[in-house]
């Protein structure tokens, strides 16, 4: 059995693996796809101390760092269930069972997509999901933000300080963000808000976004807005369905953790985008993964005390 079994091979899982292995305990990483969301990222400019890098390059460095240690990496395998106990069991798709004294869950999240024509095609070519990551790339340009919840309105306020103009589109009759955020948004001179607006297409030419089309749900009329960027802010979906009923989750499906990355189940820790930790970023996921591994080690030495 493993002393520490990490489920997830993104930045959180990789950091947890290195921290655990450096304690000399038997460490394994089970990942559906090593690298996680970072594999889908092109320019990364906010990974502190690295001015600029690309996702696959950062993943290669993560993998090399993990493999410097005695870590058993099981890439291409999906966990289907966690059975907690004195010895925790992870059930793997295909029928395998792995046993571990402690488990760190770092299964990450994925952004909810609009599922309209052009969205996938122009992903990374104008279609973006993370204002903290990609906002500065649109300096002086025109962008849309899709979604009028807290994340959409926060993104619009953030972007309005960087870009030339922000158009915010909300599907419902009104914005759903907190009142203070709405008031702030409405005070900004370079923001236009459309409610009852259903985005139907992201348009582009020469491999880049040049606008979007939306339907005004009041009268069914279609409108086209010319712009260079579209930030989709309609939700982040944690990869935690397989944990329902085992580990306490928030109403958004995030694993509830305390500042030590402990979950509601003793011996089970969690880190990164799959958890309630605020702000989903690479550097934060790595810090959390490191914390989770130190907590798991602390659990191991206490559990094996004479
Ligand atoms: P993830 O990276 O999501 O990794 C999750 C891991 O768990 C993967 O290995 C996955 O295969 C695995 N997994 C999931 N479910 C299972 C299962 N059931 N069984 C086994 N394995 C499973 N952040 C920045 O800081 N800067 C940026 O510039 C930036 N740009 C981004 C651009 C894009 C397009 C995207 C999508 C994200 C971007 N982010 C950026 C966010 C950043 O990628 C995430 O915050 C970070 O990757 C989270 O790390 P994580 O390890 O928690 O999860």
Q: Is the CB of 107 under 6 A from ligand 1?
A: yes
Instruction: Please indicate whether residue 5, judged by its CB atom, sits closer than 6 Å to ligand 1.
Output: no
Average pLDDT over residues 175-182: 96
From the list 133, 106, 126, the residue with the least C-alpha distance to 229 is: 126
Q: What is the pLDDT of residues 184-227, one digit of tens each?
A: 999 999 999 999 999 999 999 999 999 999 999 999 999 999 99
pLDDT tens string 47-100: 999 999 999 999 999 999 999 999 999 999 999 999 999 999 999 999 999 999
Check whether 125 has a pLDDT greater than 80. yes
Q: Which atom, in ligand 1's list, is nearest to the CA of 109?
A: 3
Distance 273 CA to ligand 1 centre (A): 7
226 C-alpha vs ligand 1 centroid, how far in Å?
A: 31
Contact 276, 257 (CB under 8 A): yes
List binding-site positions for FAD: 3-18, 263-273
pLDDT given at position 34: 98
End-to-end C-alpha distance for the chain, whole angstroms: 20
Asked if pLDDT for residue 305 goes beyond 80, the answer is: no
Q: What is the pLDDT of residue 40?
A: 87
The average pLDDT across 154-158 equals: 97
Is 273 a pocket residue for ligand 1 (Cβ < 6 Å)?
yes
CA of 108 to the centre of ligand 1 (A): 5
Q: Work out the mean pLDDT of the chain and round it to a whole number.
A: 97
Nearest atom in ligand 1 to 275's CA: 52
From the CA of 33, give the closest atom in ligand 1.
11
Q: Is the pLDDT of residue 41 over 90?
A: no
Q: Is 181 a residue whose pLDDT tops 80?
A: yes
Check if 11 has its Cβ closer than 6 Å to any atom of ligand 1. Answer: yes
Instruction: Report the pLDDT value the prediction gives residue 275, as an integer from 0 to 100.
Output: 98
Q: Are 265 and 277 in contact (CB under 8 A)?
A: no
**Is residue 152 within 6 Å of ligand 1 at its C-beta?**
no
80 vs 107: CA distance, rounded Å: 12
Does residue 10 have its Cβ closer than 6 Å to ligand 1?
yes
- Whole-number Å distance between alpha carbons of 99 and 71: 15
Residues tagged in the binding site annotation: 3-18, 142-156, 263-273
Output the pLDDT for position 122: 97
Q: How confident is the model at residue 273 (pLDDT cuts 50, 70, 90)?
A: very high
Q: Is 30 in the pocket of ligand 1 (CB under 6 A)?
A: yes
Structure-model confidence comparison of residues 6 and 43, the more confident one: 6
Any atom of ligand 1 within 6 Å of the Cβ of 275: no
Rounded to two decimals, the pTM is 0.93
> Hey, whose CA ends up nearest to atom 12 of ligand 1?
8
Closest by CA position to 103, among listed 278, 263, 282, 285: 263
Determine the pLDDT at residue 304: 80
Quote the CA–CA distance of 102 and 119 in Å, as a whole number. Answer: 40
Average pLDDT over residues 118-144: 95
- The model's confidence at residue 134, banded by pLDDT at 50, 70 and 90, is very high
The strand ranges marked E within 71-207 are 71-75, 79-83, 88-92, 97-105, 109-111, 127-128, 142-146, 165-169, 191-194, 197-205
């Amino acid at each position: 059995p493993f002393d520490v079994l990490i489920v997830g091979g993104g930045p959180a899982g990789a950091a947890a693996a290195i921290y655990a292995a450096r304690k000399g305990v038997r460490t394994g990483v089970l990942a559906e796809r090593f690298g996680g969301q970072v594999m889908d990222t092109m320019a990364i400019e906010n990974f502190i101390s690295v001015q600029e890098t690309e996702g696959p390059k950062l993943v290669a460095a993560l993998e090399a760092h993990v493999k410097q240690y005695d870590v058993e990496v099981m890439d291409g395998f999906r966990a289907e269930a966690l059975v907690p106990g004195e010895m925790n069991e992870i059930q793997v798709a295909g029928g395998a069972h792995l046993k571990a004294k402690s488990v760190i869950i770092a299964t990450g999240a994925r952004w909810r997509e609009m599922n309209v024509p052009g969205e996938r095609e122009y992903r990374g070519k104008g279609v973006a999901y993370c204002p903290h990551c990609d906002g500065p790339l649109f300096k002086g340009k025109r962008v849309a933000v899709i979604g009028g919840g807290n994340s959409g309105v926060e993104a619009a306020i953030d972007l309005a300080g960087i870009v030339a103009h922000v158009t915010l589109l909300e599907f419902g009759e009104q914005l759903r963000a907190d009142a203070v955020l709405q008031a702030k948004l409405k005070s900004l001179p370079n923001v236009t808000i459309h409610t009852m607006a259903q985005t139907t297409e992201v348009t582009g030419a020469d491999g880049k976004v040049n606008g979007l089309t939306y339907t005004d749900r009041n009268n069914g009329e279609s409108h086209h807005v010319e712009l260079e960027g579209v930030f989709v802010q309609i939700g982040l979906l944690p990869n935690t369905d397989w944990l329902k009923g085992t580990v306490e989750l928030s109403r958004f499906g995030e694993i509830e953790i305390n500042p030590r990355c402990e979950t509601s189940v003793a011996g089970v820790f969690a880190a990164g985008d799959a958890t309630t930790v605020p702000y989903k970023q690479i550097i934060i996921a790595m810090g959390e993964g490191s914390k989770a591994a130190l907590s798991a080690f602390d659990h191991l030495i206490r559990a094996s005390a004479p």
